[in-house]
Amino acid sequence: MSPVWECAVVGAGAAGLSAALVLGRARRHVVVIDAGHQSNRASPTIGGLLGYDQRPPADLYAQGRSELAAYPSVEFRTGEVVGGSSGEDGYLLELADGETLTARRVLLATGMKYNPPDLPGIGELWGSSVFQCPFCHGWEMRDKRLAALASGEEAVHAALMLRGWSDDVTMLTDGPTRLDSEQLRMLQVAKVEVEQRRVVQLASDEGRLTHVVFADGDRLERDGLLVEAPLSQRSRLGETLGVQSAASQLSPNAVHVDKMHRSSVSTVFAAGDVCTKQPHLADAMSAGSQAAMIIVQSLLSDDFGLPYPPA
């Protein structure tokens, strides 16, 4: 008979690996299932994560997996969870290869899909010279010719943010935008150029942005471009398990959790980008660790009556 796992961690990015480590050290029987598409793999290096700064994302995931090997109660499966339902012993998870797993708790650490603008030429630049977070990529772009592409208020915010990394910043509004006198004053003081023509393409050379191309064919030389990239669920698993999602500033469907990382279904937890307000590796790692500590307490509550805060 196949075992009933105490927890299934779905996704082994920063959040899932960190959770699995805490669960393993707490001697919980844990299965980690991962499809291997962590969102920052598009970038050559990580920015701003202590211990991994300016190192390739693959190093972080390989190190996480190797540290987990020390804990015999943690097992890995490479694959995708394609379905889930609740049953007598817990949750039944179906993997794409046909395997089924039963677990008393589920931690959703499935990350999010980032949706940058659909511009010809953006694909090969995403995660390097086209980026969504100046804290992650700004250092590599320091003192270069930069632009911020966004709409409305966000464009002003993004352009002024970028000024922290370069003196040469253009704000691209991608079409006519009304700017009030205060916004115009701030942009002028910060010496940010404003360009309101439609952007239709990004031109590059050897994987590096060279120009932003406008609808009239004109080109603006730029080395780096900050864009908006709203997040959306990349897995329907949460929905299948009945957890509620809510719109946040960054996503229309982030999984809704309480301060203890519990979803609307009290034995399904979520951590990392899947429910985040702040998509960063350090945040995902911290959330995974916190969620795991709560999961351990919820299991000990069921098994030994450990007092556990009600939902």
Q: List the structure tokens of 193.
A: 């150029």
Q: Give whichever of 235 and 251 is closer to ligand FAD, judged by the CB atom.
A: 235
Footprint of ligand FAD on 150-169 (CB under 6 A): none
Q: Is 88 buried (19+), middle (13-18) or exposed (0-12) by CB count in 10 A? A: exposed
Binds ligand FAD by CB under 6 A, chosen from 24, 64, 90, 127: 127
Q: How far is the CB of 144 from ligand FAD (least distance, A)?
A: 17
Q: What string marks each residue from 184 to 203 as x (binds ligand FAD by CB under 6 A) or -? A: --------------------
Q: Using the structure block, give the residue that is written with the tokens 């920063």.
A: 14
- Least Å from the CB of residue 194 to ligand FAD: 27
Binding-site member from 30, 101, 202, 237 for ligand FAD (CB under 6 A): 237
| Distance (Å, whole) CA 278 – CA 39 | 14
Q: Angle CA(158)–CA(160)–CA(165) in degrees, nearest 5?
A: 95
Q: Which is nearer to ligand FAD, 51 or 305 (by Cβ)?
A: 51
The answer to the question of residue 268 lying near ligand FAD (CB under 6 A) is: no
Residue 38 near residue 270 (C-beta atoms within 8 A): no
Which 3 state secondary structure label does DSSP give 48? coil
Q: Kind of pairing, strands 100-108 and 91-95?
A: antiparallel
- Binding of residue 14 to ligand FAD (CB under 6 A): yes
149 binds ligand FAD per the rule CB under 6 A: no
> Using the rule CB under 6 A, which residue among 4, 25, 48, 239 binds ligand FAD?
48
Give the containing element (helix H, strand E) for 85: strand 81-86
What is the dihedral sign for C-alpha 119, 124, 128, 129? Answer: negative
Examine residue 290 and tell whether it contacts ligand FAD (CB under 6 A).
no
Considering only residues 23 to 42 of the shown chain, the ones binding ligand FAD according to CB under 6 A are: 33-40, 42
**Contacting ligand FAD within 50-89 (CB under 6 A):** 80-81
Q: Which of 28, 104, 105, 280 binds ligand FAD (CB under 6 A)?
A: 280
CB 274 within 8 A of CB 291: no
Q: How far apart are CA 142 and CA 134, in angstroms?
A: 10
Angle between helices 152-162 and 181-189 (to 10 degrees): 20
Residues in contact with ligand FAD by the rule CB under 6 A:
10-16, 33-40, 42-43, 46-49, 80-81, 109-111, 114, 127, 136, 234-235, 237, 272-274, 279-282, 284
